[in-house]
Structure formats: C-alpha cells, structure tokens
Structure 1
Amino acid sequence: MPDVRANGIDLRYETVGDPDDPALLLIMGLGAQLIDWPAEFVSALASRGFHVVLFDNRDAGLSTSFDELGVPDVRAILGGDPSTVPYLLGDLAADAAGLLKELGIARAHVVGASMGGMIAQQLTIDHPDLVASLCSIMSTTGDRTVGRPTPEAAAALMRPRAESREEILAGAVATSRIIGSPGYPASDEWLRQRAAAKLDRSFRPEGTQRQYAAILASPDRTAGLRSVSVPTLVIHGEADPLIDVSGGRATADAVPGAELLVIPGMGHDLPQALHATVVDAIAANAARA
C-alpha cells in the first residue's frame, strides 16, 4: 500500500482492479480505516468493471495525523464554540480531491459510507468536475433535525476511552453489536477478528475525536446538494440506530433525481448478505452516468 502527497498531507491508499476500468473511489467513515471496507465487497466492485481506490482519511489508519492540534472540546463545540475544531469536512473532501488528482484520475464514481458519505457529498458539491456519480450510504445531510442516533447508539459512540487491548476489543464488539444490522447479525468472533485487525494496523482515538469535531462543526449541506447534477444513489438501513433513516431520506430529497434504496433489517454496517444488493445498486447508478 503506497502513500501519496495530496492537499499537503500523506494519504495511504490501495487500488483493486484493472487501472483501465472506470475509477471508483471509496470513502470510509468516522475513525474507520480503508480495511473497514470488506475485502469481498471491494472485490465484487472490481469484478463489475471498476478500478477501486480506497484510502485512509486524515487522522485515521496510516494517513497523516494531526496530533499536534490536540483534542477538541466537543462539549464547547456543541455549545456553539468552534475554536477547538481542527478542520472541517470540506478539508477531508479536499484530501479526496487531491488524491484523485495525484493519481491522475480525471473523474471517479464516488461512494461514501457514514462520515464518508458526508465527505462524498461535500466532494461532489465542491469539486463536481471530479465526480461521475455519487452514492451516499448510511449518511445524512448535516441538518441536525434528521439522522439522529438513538440514545443507546449515541452512548456507544461516546463511551470512555479504553486502555488495554482487551477493553478496546470488547468495546468495539459491543459497539458493533449496538449499531449493526439486526436483520443480519454477525458473530462475536467475526466482529472481534475485524476489531483486532484494525487495532493491529492503527489505533488513533484522538484522531477520531478530531474527525467527530469536523462533523459537528461543518455546515448543513442541503442547499449545496440541490446543485448536484450527477446520478445519485442514497442507500440506508431502515434499522440504522446511529444515523436514523431520516438522514438518508433527507439526502435523497435534497438531490434532484436521486434514487433512494432503503433496506429492511440493515443497520449501520455492510453485512455480507447485502453485498450483492449494494454492489448491484452502485453499478446501476454508475451506469446512469
């Protein structure tokens, strides 16, 4: 996995598939790494004729960290004081744009999940020339009246920082169990294996807090989404407890001509049983371009 210098920082990225195929950029969510995209899901996209590009966002995985900026004061941010916010979602979108440009990709189909969906939306708004089609998965518009978490999911997101390896893995499994798909439950063993793989690759809880601050401080994208003209698909789990399905509905309502796919039993993850459904929908949306 190489690094590329983009937007003034180093981004760790990986590609899968034939470089001669149309590019498809995958953008992951809060505190997530490029390995959070299931390998089978990425391979399925490549088999559908896409050159898949996936990367670690800033402050996650093996991309540039911003530890020198310290930990943001989330309570103050929620109270209206953004002075400790290190960067905004627009900066993460600029990172993605810089990555595409450095890789020599003129246009890409863009797919984002959760915070990655927010970044994908902002990328399409700010850099429309780089985006061939947009797919926003389990995300929202930035309108604080939609896409709100359940109290249990919010508490899982804000759980105290774990210190030992065992506490970190147990907390990751517990969180996945709370926000995951009730209709497609994963085993504790599988969840623990994935959490261990992430922990062994990188563990940056303060970076996650800075990314969360970016979400909180970034403006509502609804007005900007009304200017999006590329084929757009919005996918959301009907049972998503972390970002309520109202966030997906609002996203689809904001983008002219957007298609909305609400999946019963799906929560805030990409269960293997739904890979074919999601990949087919992404491919169909890209074909509209």
Structure 2
Amino acid sequence: MSSAALEATSELTGVEATSAHRLGGSVYEVELADGDLVVAKRHSQVSAVLAEAKSLEWIAEPGVVPVPAVRAHSEHWLVIEQIEPGQPVDAEAFGRGLAQLHLAGAPAFGAAPPDGPADAWIGLAPMFNQPVPSWPEFYATQRIEPYVRRTTLPWAPFEAVCSRLVDLVPEEPPARLHGDLWSGNVHWATDGRAWLIDPASHGGHRETDLAMLQLFGCPMLDRVLGAYREVYPLAPGWRSRVPLHQLFPLLVHTVLFGGGYASQALSAARAALR
C-alpha cells in the first residue's frame, strides 16, 4: 500500500514522493522530493474523502483554531499538511479557539460543510447530514435513532430521550462543530498548540463537541473548558447534560465495536432523563 500512497501523493501534489511511512490504517506520512512532509490518507468510500476535505476547510475558515491545510484530494486519497507532534501546552488558546469556532455558526442543524456530501462518515461509521429546523429533531432523527437501529439495544430508553429533547436542552443557534472531537483528534504540535484533525463537521449543538472531549479525555481539560466559557458561556446545567450529548459517540462506538459501549449508551440514556 505504501507504493500506492507514493503514486497517489505524487500525482495529486505534482511533486515526486520519495518515501512513505505508515502511521496506522491507511494513513501515511509521505516525504516529497522538495523536502516537504505531507500526510496521505486513503478512504474506500468516495464520499468520505470529500466529507473530510470539506470539513477541514470549513473549520479552518474562521482562522481561530489551527487546522492542517488540504493539499489535494481525489476520489480515494486525501493529502494534507503534516504537523509535527509535540506536548500539550496552550490549553487556554485551544479553549478560546474552540469557542470562537462554535460561534462561527452553521446555516442549520444538520448542515454539512459547504460543498460537502450529505452522506458523510464519523470514523468508519456512516453519518448523514440533512438540514432540519431544530436541534431536537436533528439529534433524534440523525444522531440517535439511526445508530440504535443498527444495534440490538432496546429502543424504548432512547425513544424516551428523543421525546423529551425539547425540554432537556436549552435552545441555541447552530454551532460549527468539529463533530468527532475525541482526544485523539486534538493534535498537539511542537509549538504547544492544539490542532484539529479528522473532523466530521456539521451544524449542531456545541455541547456535543464538549461532551465528546470529556468522554474520552483531553489534556488539561479543566483549563480548556474554563477558557472556553470565558469566551462563550455555557447555559446553566450544562454539566448535567453531558450524558445526553455523549449518546451520539457512544452509539457510534456501539455500532463499530459493540462490547461495553452498549451498556454505556444505555447508562447515558438513563442519566439524560434524571
């Protein structure tokens, strides 16, 4: 596969690719003849390449959080800027930038990035984005029900959550979300800044991004959230709503991996109704 990465990168960048180092899965660090380093990613699904490329461009557009530049893409390959890894330092800058990214907004709940496909992906799971008038409708029909239906989980607890979403979450305008904001997609660079990678962007509720950060951990999370709230204060009771917003990533992980994620999803549904 490294030969395919070399060939695709050379063709897409117009610069000869001289070596490729596999980072994991179908992701490669590729060195170009001019000394530059890029990351080449292969997706088997055509829509996945376009969805990620347009997501990267959309969250980069406000210029508030560092995002690797998209160098080029084809049906199955995405080539982006390579960012050298470092240690987490500037948690406050990340928190402020994430708040400003959310404030940049989206046209509607469920809106895909401009020119991005409605049929997108979150990791290896399909994810559909279709604009709808309200967040409760979006979350119920596009982020809870489709994933529960792909598991053996009982529908009743999740149906109860969906029926009460209007009362459970304060109304807010659509935020511009990263969409898959677990700690592995927060890439700390050599300058100590947090870069956002591997987005599954869409218009949604900002607490969903923050809940995902809390679900899988993030270095200096208290400092990140503190700086975030200074820029864009959260509505009262936001901590109690974390399980509700964690339902989506937990259901995705149940679909992909099963195991203990199913019981975690059920626990989150019950906690959301307390």
Give TM-score, length-normalised by structure 1: 0.25
Larger radius of gyration: 2
Give TM-score, length-normalised by structure 2: 0.26
